[in-house]
């Protein structure tokens, strides 16, 4: 049951009125919003997701209803309130309510996006096609940018997969969503290793590591990138062992050495790993000339998390150079390019040494030349 008292606007529209708090404000002051046309668009172990329309602005929103189980920590709201970023789904409002069984639920009112990356890949696959190279670059750049921002706050998503990435194909924009598994990482804290959906799970998780970093999100992002090229998961394991076999089968990865296993999990003692014939990643791409993409994937698919590229390093990779073209103003569909380079100050300061590789010398970086070191010497 949706919270709030329904008001009758007309004989055909039920208007739900609720008191909410703004997503990113430090103020605890409640405001009132009204919404209509509520319908279920998703469900899971967490609860339900509804689509609705704000009555006063006519704006579509998604409302995520999350059961507040007192046995478990729910970090989702606290983490989302710290993540105001162009590539992370916007938390507009939130409120708590009790249903008719006296159970408490958290409601997150989020901006609405029309598709998930999973739906996008599936739609292309049904026509025998995969996403074009330009749009893969466009979406992956935004994914790495969102992950880089999160990593700068030591926040790990822990469930990056196509289902949790929202896109607006018309506008070419991407948002990371669903922070139900996210956690602020502290060096001394242990973490559960059984996290993240299997196809996208970093190998250190398969090896049972309880000390890991935001680099698990980078591995997951690499699997998403490969899936955009292939139209299907790169590592489709049906168990933990099979998942590891699927990873080993790709020649740029192969069988991990004892040193790499130690780097993933110092307590792992069973070194009996399967021996399987490996396949070059280039062959999986069916003849497409993707040397730069394979090079980037090679930097992401490293067993040793310390040797794995970070999200900010991925953004500096030549694979994305096309997006840095100062003359690039429109997408292939004729719409204006998303503003990829209007960065927050925190982002600009993550790795100043990489800024010249990441940013174009163009109008897409307003008023930032001195900060990011792009101003021409005089």
Extract the annotated binding site for ATP.
Answer: 65
Chain center to CA of 210: 22
Closest CA to 196 of 224, 174, 168: 224
Burial of 237 (0-12, 13-18, 19+ CB in 10 A): middle
What count of Cα atoms within 13 Å lies in the side-chain half-sphere of residue 351?
20
β-strand pairing of 183-184 with 155-156: antiparallel
CB 368 within 8 A of CB 355: no
159 labelled catalytic = yes
Q: Between vectors from CA 173 to CA 116 and to CA 199, what angle results, nearest 5°?
A: 40
How many residues appear in the chain? 378
**Burial letters for 307-344: b for 16+ Cβ neighbours within 10 Å, e otherwise?**
ebbbbbbbbbbebbeebbeeeeeebeeeeebbebbebe
In angstroms, the CA 230 to CA 294 distance is 13
In angstroms, the CA 184 to CA 57 distance is 35
Of 37, 56, 99, 159, which residue is the catalytic one?
Answer: 159
- The set of residues, in sequence order, having a beta carbon less than 8 Å from that of 367 and lying 6+ positions away, is none
Which residue is associated with the tokens 């002051």?
29
In angstroms, the CA 66 to CA 9 distance is 28
In angstroms, the CA 136 to CA 157 distance is 21
**3-state DSSP call for residue 44?**
strand
Catalytic residues, which ones? 159
């Amino acid at each position: 049951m949706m919270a709030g008292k329904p008001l009758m606007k007309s004989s055909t529209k039920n208007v739900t009125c609720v008191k909410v708090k703004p997503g990113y404000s430090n103020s605890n002051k409640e405001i009132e919003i009204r919404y209509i046309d509520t319908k279920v668009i998703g469900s899971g172990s967490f609860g339900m997701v509804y689509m609705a329309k704000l009555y006063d602005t006519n704006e579509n929103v998604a409302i995520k209803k999350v059961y507040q189980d007192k046995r478990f920590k729910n970090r989702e709201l606290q983490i989302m309130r710290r993540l105001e970023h162009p590539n992370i789904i916007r938390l507009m409002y939130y409120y708590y309510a009790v249903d008719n069984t006296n159970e408490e639920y958290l409601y997150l009112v989020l901006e609405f996006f029309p598709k998930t990356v999973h739906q996008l890949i599936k739609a292309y696959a049904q026509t025998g096609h995969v996403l074009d190279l330009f749009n893969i670059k466009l979406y992956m750049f935004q994914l790495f940018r969102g992950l880089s921002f999160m990593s700068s706050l030591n926040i790990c998503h822990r469930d990056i997969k196509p289902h949790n990435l929202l896109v607006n194909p018309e506008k070419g924009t991407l948002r990371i969503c669903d922070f139900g598994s996210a956690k602020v990482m502290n060096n001394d804290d242990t973490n559960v290793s059984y996290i993240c959906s299997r196809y996208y799970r970093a190998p250190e998780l398969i090896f049972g590591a309880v000390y890991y970093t935001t680099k698990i999100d980078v591995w997951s992002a690499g699997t998403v990138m490969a899936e955009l090229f292939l139209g299907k998961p790169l590592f489709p394991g049906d168990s933990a062992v099979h998942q590891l076999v699927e990873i080993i089968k790709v020649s740029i990865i192969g069988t991990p050495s004892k040193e790499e296993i130690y780097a993933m999990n110092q307590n792992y003692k069973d070194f009996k790993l399967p021996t399987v014939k490996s396949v070059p990643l280039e062959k999986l791409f069916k003849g497409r000339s993707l040397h730069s993409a394979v090079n980037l994937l090679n930097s992401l698919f490293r067993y040793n998390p310390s040797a794995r590229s970070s999200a900010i390093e991925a953004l500096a990779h030549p694979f994305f150079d096309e997006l840095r073209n100062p003359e690039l103003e429109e997408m292939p569909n004729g719409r204006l390019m998303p503003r990829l380079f209007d960065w927050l100050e925190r982002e600009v300061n993550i790795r100043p040494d990489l800024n010249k590789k990441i940013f174009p010398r163009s109008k897409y970086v307003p008023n930032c030349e001195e900060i990011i070191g792009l101003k021409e010497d005089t």
